[in-house]
Amino acid sequence: MRTRAPFRLGLVVHLLYDLADPPLPHRGAFMGSRSPRQLSEADSVFLSVDSEAARSIIAGLSIVDASAAPDFGFERFLRVLAERTALVDRFRWVLRPVPFGLDHAWWVEHEGFNPVDHVQRIALPAPGGERELAELVSLLHRRPLDSNRPLWECWWIEGLEGGRVATMLRFHHCLMDGQSGVEFSALLFDLTAEPVPTASSETDPIVATPRHPTLAEMVRGAIANATRKPERIAVHAARALREGLVRMGDASAHERPPPVPDTHFNDRLSGQNAFAYTSIPLGPIREARKHFDAKVNDILLELLGSSLRSVLRAEGRLPDESVVALCPVSLRSEADAELDNQIASMPVHLATHLEDPIERLSLIKQSSTASKERLRDGAFEAMAALSECFVPGALRILARAAHALPGIVPLPANLVFSNVRGLHVPMYLAGARVEEIYPISMLQVANGMNVTAVSHDDQVDFGFVVDSALVPDPWRYADGIQTALKELEASMMRGESAIEPPDFASDSLVYDVDDEEETIEPLDLMLLMGSLGKTRTASRNWVSPLVD
């Protein structure tokens, strides 16, 4: 790798100070040296829909190799965590709710905050394999977070096979979105085995801490937010009406959202989740991207579609129509340093009704392009509508009703898939090499499966979160990713190239959309900023599944 250690260290330090810049108050906050700060509308949604059936909590599971790090240990990790969390102001904040949910909650400083209080230590039962780790992660991920403290926690997990150690960082989705969460994880990681020292927040405060709002300020904030809702309701109602007319009318196929079939994992959630994971090399994904003239996100969606098809077909549950994935996309600009949620979603066909992987990939490409076109054109987006049209109390009631009676809510998709792009160079946590990073996301109403893929250090790590009552064995889907990769590599070795998908009947799934340059990217959770995101290294000795 050409990048030198001093250059990398300098960029990391620069990143730490960039992320420490004080964010502007959200709408509804009042300026001042110590101003109250209100939870944004987009963040408030995740607080309102949080329930026992589906916690609005996301997490990251990092597995490190401590064999070559003699100074690595729990105490050293605590020191790194303490100094890095000091750089993220809202990790010290708690929420003060508005009575009866009439307006969004307010952030206030948590008195006596100590990051060490948010860390717990636990050991895996023998033999400490991947199944034991996944079961423990599932149990921990069901736990609610203490609303009387800052909404995050960290678990130190010992006892993994080979003397490895895992850390699991959990935080409420209202605290920050996935992009901001991984950027915070980046603060825990270093590009060398020696942790980079950071400035003390006691001597160099980051932002003025938010004070408790007065009753008058809360009333003014509630009135200001309420006056904006009629206009927003009209906008979203118009979008929903237009989408309904498009679904029923004679619009061209690319203007219609994809039809969503019924699957066994689209039902009432039980609140009991399960977790599975797998890892594949990134090299074949890059080769497939070039060979088939596709995007990395399209290739990953093809692998997921292939896995779903094989498992559902073996179980006799494969629907005649394609399974649809809801893919989050980031609305965040590169210059945006805010940590609040700024995401939308687009439905994409996974072409599970097609047997040939090349036909499947071709249809996924066209479906993804068409969905981005609809999003650019102002398609109805449920998350934005919920955040802008309902007060938190009303939204909380609607969310409980939707979980109890999932049939009353139109399904936007069968499952959620996120593509996470990270830094493709070696990373270290408190001096130990980071081997794997598995995302652990949240479930939604009537969606019993959520899949996220994180690319880093020349590999892609997949995390499958499912409702265990609807999907008893998520490992079958995780293992299916490995089989799908072999299938796609075999197609490349045979010299097969991308083809036009077959022509369908009146309810065609083919989209006639020009392949223009994307202005809406898949959810981009960069582990570091700028040019480092394009730096790659062959740091993994991956062997192709097709090589003996």
Which of 104, 118, 172, 173 is catalytic? The answer is 173
Q: What are phi and psi for residue 463, nearest 5 degrees?
A: -120, 125
Instruction: Answer yes or no: are the C-beta atoms of 460 and 485 closer than 8 Å.
Output: no
pLDDT at 232: 82
What is the rounded CA–CA span in Å between residue 248 and residue 268?
27
End-to-end CA, the chain: 28
pLDDT at 140: 96
The helix, strand and coil proportions of the chain, stated in percent and rounded to the nearest 5, come to 35, 20, 45
pLDDT in 10s for each residue of the chain, 548 residues = 344 333 333 333 333 333 333 333 443 333 345 788 999 888 888 999 999 999 999 999 999 998 888 889 999 999 999 988 888 888 899 999 999 999 999 999 998 899 999 999 999 988 999 999 999 999 999 999 999 999 999 999 999 999 899 999 999 988 875 555 556 666 788 888 888 876 554 444 445 678 889 999 999 988 888 888 888 888 767 776 766 666 555 555 555 677 899 999 999 999 999 999 999 999 999 999 999 999 999 999 999 999 999 999 999 999 999 999 999 876 554 544 454 445 678 899 999 999 999 999 999 999 999 888 877 777 666 767 777 888 899 999 988 999 998 888 788 899 999 988 878 889 999 999 999 999 999 999 999 999 999 998 899 999 999 999 999 999 999 999 999 999 999 999 887 665 554 443 333 333 232 333 333 333 333 333 223 333 333 344 444 433 33
In the chain the domains, ranked by start, together with CATH numbers, are: 38-222 (3.30.559.10), 275-497+513-534 (3.30.559.30)
What is the rounded CA–CA span in Å between residue 310 and residue 354?
11
Residue position matching structure tokens 């998908």 = 501
Q: Which residues contact 223 (CB under 8 A, 6 or more apart)?
A: none
User: How many C-beta atoms surround the C-beta of residue 184 within 10 A?
Assistant: 23
pLDDT at 533: 32
pLDDT at 248: 59
Q: What is the dihedral of CA 214, 217, 221, 227, to 10 degrees?
A: 140
For the question of residue 26 being annotated catalytic, the response is: no
Q: In what order do the strands lie in the sheet with 343-349?
A: 273-281, 459-467, 449-456, 415-421, 324-330, 343-349
Strand-pair partners of 464: 276, 451
What is the rounded CA–CA span in Å between residue 130 and residue 540?
20
Residue position matching structure tokens 């100094």 = 83
177: its two tokens = 């979105």
pLDDT at 231: 84
- H or E element, residue 6: helix 5-19
pLDDT at 185: 65
Q: What is the pTM of this model?
A: 0.81
Instruction: Answer yes or no: are the C-beta atoms of 209 and 113 closer than 8 Å.
Output: no
Residue position matching structure tokens 């081997």 = 435
Name the DSSP letter for residue 449.
Answer: E
pLDDT at 208: 62
pLDDT at 376: 78
**For residue 520, which of 387, 415, 368, 325 has the smallest C-alpha distance?**
368
Q: Which residues contact 139 (CB under 8 A, 6 or more apart)?
A: none
The rounded mean pLDDT for the chain is: 79
Alpha helices in 377-512 (DSSP H): 382-389, 392-404, 475-493
